[in-house]
Each structure stands twice: as C-alpha cells, then as structure tokens.
C-alpha cells in the first residue's frame, strides 16, 4: 500500500518552512527509509505558503507541486486552499514556535488550525494529520521517564497551551465524525532546510559557547526531519491511525552533552572546523531564573526566544515512539550522528556559513 492508492491529492501547510520542505521532498521523491513510502507520490501536492515567502526551494523539488499563497489565520484562504480537493489528505505542519508576541501562538496555532479543520470538512477531505509538539505535555517528572500517548496534559507556557488547545480542537473535529484526524507530537527537530538560527547553535558549539545548564545529562528527544516526515506520511497512510495520537522522534532520546559532543566531533573530524572544546557551563539556577523571566514576559504577552530556550535547557523532554513503531510501522532509521552529518552537509552545500 502507498499513498498513490488512497488519495489523488496531498495538501501541505507550512510547505516552505523547515519541516514542510523536507516533507514535500519526501512525498515527491519517495522516502527510501521505508518500503511503504519509497514510491514517489504521483498525485497533486498542493502547498500553502505565506504571501511573499521564498518558494524557490519548494519549486526546485519538482513533481506536481502547486503553490497557493495564503495565511491560516484567514479562513477564506483556508477555504480556497482546500477547495476541490475532496478525498485529499491534509498535512498541517504550519505553526509558530518563536513568535513576536504570545498572541500569535493562539491566532496561528489554535485559530489557524480551526480554520483549516473547518475548510477541510467543508471540502470533504479524507484525513488531516496535524503537527503538535511535546509542549502540551510539558517536561518529564524525572530523567528516566518517557512520555507516552497516555501522558496527561501539562502545557509548557504559551506555546504548550496553544498546542494543547489545538489538539483539543482536533479531537472535537474528530468527534464530529466527518473527518479523519491524526495528531503527531514531535520534539525538537533537526535536519536539512534549517533556518539560519540553527547555524548559530553550531557556531556556539565550535566556539566553546555551547550552553550546558546543570550537568547536561538531561535527556532530550529529537527528531531528524526525514524520520519525522516518515512518521507524518505513515500517519497519513495507515487506516488505523485515525483518531490517534503518536509521538514521533528518533529511536531514543539523547542527553544535552551527547548532542553537543556529537556535533563537535563531526565539525572537527568531517567538516574541518577547529573547535574550542569548551562549553559554556551555567548553573541550574540560570535556567530557573530564565524560566521565571520567560513566564513573566509571557504573562505580559511578550516573548523572548533566547530566554525561552535557556529556560528549557536543563529540562528532560523525552518520549517513547513505541506506539508509532507498533501501529504505524514507524522505523526511525536515522540517528543523531548521521542526522547531524546530513544537516552539516546541507549547510555546506547551500552556502550557510559556519
């Protein structure tokens, strides 16, 4: 079974974004990592991009890619995007994680998703796969804990809350019975097509400023973009996924130290960078202070990316992908080292400077 046999159209939101590009690529070119996804999708791939967004990379992918400009916040745009795609499958990966203000979390992640769900229902789409996050579930209670799909909501700040409300809206739509839905929860992801801010992270590690808060042994689940694309496409494909939630990530979580050590090693041995072999070590209290500041800012409706990221640095955010493996046949073949290698190669090839 492959997607060609079940739908003529796949719709992708956020298609010009980091994950969106990888997803469209996986769809159009096929994903060699998984036998059910290896065949390229030959039907229409309709992509929603923000007005004025750079779509060169998207166009380069080839295949039957159609580009629709629009904003999920505008319900008319959503209707236009979905119209005439009866029986199609919508992969909704547009979302905002680092906004200018907290309000955007809700207008984009929650209201935007609601607009899309309504449009999808009206256009008689078959299934919607919605991209959520670890944030509705918060941080693990202790380091050797892994979240599963039964873990209760415990949203982490504004983003987590907006994604939780989004998930609840998806469940509502599911209950209405006219639309199949699947929720995918992914943690921190990495891989080609990354935005420039990610290059900064690699530079910091090279220059000995990779921040380690506390002992750095807190595990973090990460998802390589192709692993994630595999999970999303399987969620689109597998009939029994309807109505379910799946965590999608790499096979196992990594500790913060392991993540930075791996990147450092690759930079030095394979990408000819001289590394400072140092870390910027901060006491756990730094994250606690950042947490308080972040929380206070967010309660005022303000958002500061660096403070937010710092507040999360010493937290354990780890999940189990057992259910996805069991029910979707998910096979996260790429792990940290290989995934980071591919990311760095992509940067080189695409002229992102280290």
Partner 1 sequence: MFRDTVSALCHTVVEERCLAGIGSAAPEANSVVQFVLAQHARMPDFLRAPVVVLTLMFDLQCILKHGAPFRRLDCDQRIQHVRDWRLSRLGFRRDFVRLYESLAVLGWHSMKERCQ
User: How far apart (Å, rounded) are the C-alpha atoms in residues 146 and 220?
Assistant: 10
- Asked if 144 interacts with partner 1 (CB under 8 A), we say yes
Q: x/- binding map, residues 280-319, to partner 1, per CB under 8 A?
A: --------------------------------------xx
The answer to whether residue 217 forms part of the interface with partner 1 (CB under 8 A) is: yes
Residues 149-208 that bind partner 1 (CB under 8 A): 150-151
Nearest to 159 by CA among 189, 139, 178, 134: 134
Tell me: does residue 146 bind partner 1 (CB under 8 A).
yes
Should residue 278 be labelled a site residue for partner 1 when binding is judged by CB under 8 A?
Answer: no
Stretch that binds partner 1, among 17-25, 135-143, 173-181, 334-342 (CB under 8 A): 135-143
- Closer to partner 1 by Cβ: residue 77 or 250: 250
| Among 70, 54, 27, 139, CA closest to 350 | 54
Q: State which of residues 60, 73, 143, 265 lies at the interface with partner 1 (CB under 8 A).
A: 143
Q: Is there binding between residue 322 and partner 1 (CB under 8 A)?
A: yes
Q: Which stretch binds partner 1 (CB under 8 A): 137-145, 177-185, 229-237, 294-302?
A: 137-145
In the bound complex, what is the minimum distance in angstroms from residue 183's beta carbon to partner 1?
Answer: 18
Query: Which residues of the chain form contacts with partner 1 (CB under 8 A)?
Result: 141-148, 150-151, 217, 318-320, 322
């Amino acid at each position: 079974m492959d997607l060609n046999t079940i739908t003529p159209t796949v719709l992708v939101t956020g298609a010009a974004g980091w994950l969106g590009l990888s997803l469209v690529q996986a769809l159009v070119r096929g994903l060699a990592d998984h036998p059910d996804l290896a065949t390229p999708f030959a039907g229409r791939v309709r992509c929603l991009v923000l007005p004025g967004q750079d779509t060169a990379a998207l166009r380069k992918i080839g295949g039957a890619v159609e580009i629709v400009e629009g904003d999920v916040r505008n319900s008319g745009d959503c209707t236009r995007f979905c119209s005439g795609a009866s029986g199609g499958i919508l992969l909704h990966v547009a979302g905002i994680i680092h906004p200018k203000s907290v309000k955007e979390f809700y207008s984009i992640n929650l209201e935007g998703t609601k607009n899309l769900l309504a449009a999808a229902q009206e256009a008689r789409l078959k299934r919607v796969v919605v991209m959520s996050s670890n944030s509705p579930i918060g941080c693990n209670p202790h380091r050797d804990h892994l979240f599963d799909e039964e873990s209760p909501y415990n949203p982490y700040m504004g983003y987590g809350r907006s994604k939780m409300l989004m998930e609840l809206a998806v469940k509502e739509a599911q209950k209405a019975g006219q639309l199949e839905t699947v929720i995918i929860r992914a943690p921190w992801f990495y891989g080609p097509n990354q935005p420039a801010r990610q290059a900064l992270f690699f530079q910091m590690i090279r220059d000995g400023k990779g921040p380690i808060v506390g002992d750095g042994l807190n595990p973090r689940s990460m998802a390589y973009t192709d692993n994630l694309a595999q999970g999303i496409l399987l969620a689109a494909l597998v009939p029994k996924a309807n109505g379910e939630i799946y965590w999608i990530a790499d096979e196992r979580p990594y500790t913060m130290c392991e993540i930075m050590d791996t990147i450092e090693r690759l930079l030095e041995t394979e990408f000819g960078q001289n590394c400072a072999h140092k870390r910027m070590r901060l006491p756990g209290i730094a994250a606690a202070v950042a947490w308080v500041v972040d929380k206070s800012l967010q309660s005022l409706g303000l958002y500061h990316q660096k403070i937010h990221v710092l507040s999360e640095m010493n937290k354990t955010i780890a999940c189990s992908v057992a259910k996805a493996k069991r029910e979707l046949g998910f096979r996260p073949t790429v792990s940290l080292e290989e995934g980071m290698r591919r990311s760095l190669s992509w940067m080189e090839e695409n002229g992102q400077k280290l």
